[in-house]
Structure 1
Amino acid sequence: MLTQRPVHGALKAGLCIAAAALLGACAPALDWRDVRPEGALVQLQLPCKPHGQSRDVQLGGARVNLALHACAAGAATWGLAAADMVDPALVGPALAELSAAAAGNLAAKPVPRQPLPVTGATPNAASGWQRLSGRLPDGKPAQMQVLVFARGTWVYQASVLGEKIDEAAAQTFFASLRFSP
């Protein structure tokens, strides 16, 4: 069991603020587009134009810059967070912390991660996909599907958050994640 640390709180607060802000926006129909966030090494499809922000956070035992690219469409928030851990020994702990933060954001019970391979990702025992149900900080019910994965020293968290998630759209989103050879 992870203990609550002030640093973990900063990461949780940043992701909650971004998700809450985007959930409040008007959500147009899904308009899929290829996206390659600057510096993130990964490519994906998002159903809306993402907005980016970054901040320094404590993650996996190190101070890193966490970049978040997110948008709102189809009554859900779609996002990708990425950080370079620099030290390979910190990748596993960072992935575990990203999974725990996702569950914590919804006050959801942690569930085991299921395998969901990403083309070109580095295998890591802490990688995997989760389906979470819980409540947002404002008390509204929410569901989240989240995938944590790595490539080299980079860690990623791809997520879909909403009151009800369109399963076909979520599958399109997660299946689109890939690294160029």
Structure 2
Amino acid sequence: MPCRTTAGFALMLLLVACQPALNWREARPAGSGAVALFPCKPEIDQRQDKGLAQCEAAGKRFALSWADLPDPTQLSAALKAMPQSLATKLGQPLPPAQALQVPGMTPLPEAAEYRLAATAGVARVAVFAHGGRVYQAVMTADADDVAAWESFRAGLAIEAAR
């Protein structure tokens, strides 16, 4: 699996090595234009202009969704709406955003990651875009697993960037 730097590769190996219950593998969901590191073989549901790759492992659900916007001027609004929608669904306020960098993404200030805690568990979400396409990566679990989230998030890239 190609990595951007030797340090990045070392970090990825360390994170993956600390999670023996998760079997990490690179996935390139058809039609997504993205590369993701999943801890299980994802099921892929693809429709015109949108798709979802998801799997469940060790009591955690991992998902990467994507959608093409008919109007690229709506990217910022979409990136704001996606995590807000998840927070509303969980009955939680949206916490402050943390900066997010995904190799190959279009640099937008709304590209961010969030940690949402709810009575039923924890959800982590990252939103980013490339061209006129928006992406949302989500991990949900009964308890927070920072190492699993970091592995999943660090494995995200726009396919041309790998």
TM-score grouping bracket, smaller chain normalisation: 0.7 to 0.9
In the TM superposition, structure 1's runs of 4+ consecutive aligned residues that sit over 4 Å from their partners are: none
Residue type of the alignment partner of 2:38: L
Report whether the alignment pairs 1:143 with 2:127. Answer: no
1:10-159 correspondence to structure 2 within 5 Å = 29-54=21-46, 65-135=49-119, 141-159=120-138
Can you give the 5+ residue segments of structure 2 that lack an aligned partner in the other structure? 1-19
CA displacement at 1:98 relative to structure 2: 0.8
Can you give the 5+ residue segments of structure 1 that lack an aligned partner in the other structure? 1-27, 56-63, 136-140
CA displacement at 1:53 relative to structure 2: 2.1
Distance 1:54 1:105 in 2: 23
Residue type of the alignment partner of 2:95: V
Distance 2:59 2:49 in 1: 29
Secondary structure (helix, strand or coil) at the match of 2:99 reads coil
Q: Is the 8 A contact 1:76 1:165 kept in 2?
A: no
Distance 2:90 2:36 in 1: 25
Secondary structure (helix, strand or coil) at the match of 1:44 reads strand
Report whether the alignment pairs 1:172 with 2:156. Answer: no
Deviation track 1:76-121 (CA, whole Å, cap 9, x = no partner) reads 1000010011321011111111111121221111112110200110
Distance 2:50 2:87 in 1: 18
CA displacement at 1:67 relative to structure 2: 1.3
CA displacement at 1:66 relative to structure 2: 3.2
Distance 2:89 2:49 in 1: 20
Residue type of the alignment partner of 1:44: A
Indicate the structure whose relative CO is greater, using CA pairs within 8 Å and at least 6 residues apart: 2
CA RMSD of aligned residues (A): 1.7
Q: Is the 8 A contact 1:86 1:154 kept in 2?
A: no
State the TM-score, normalized to the length of structure 2.
0.81
Secondary structure (helix, strand or coil) at the match of 2:98 reads coil
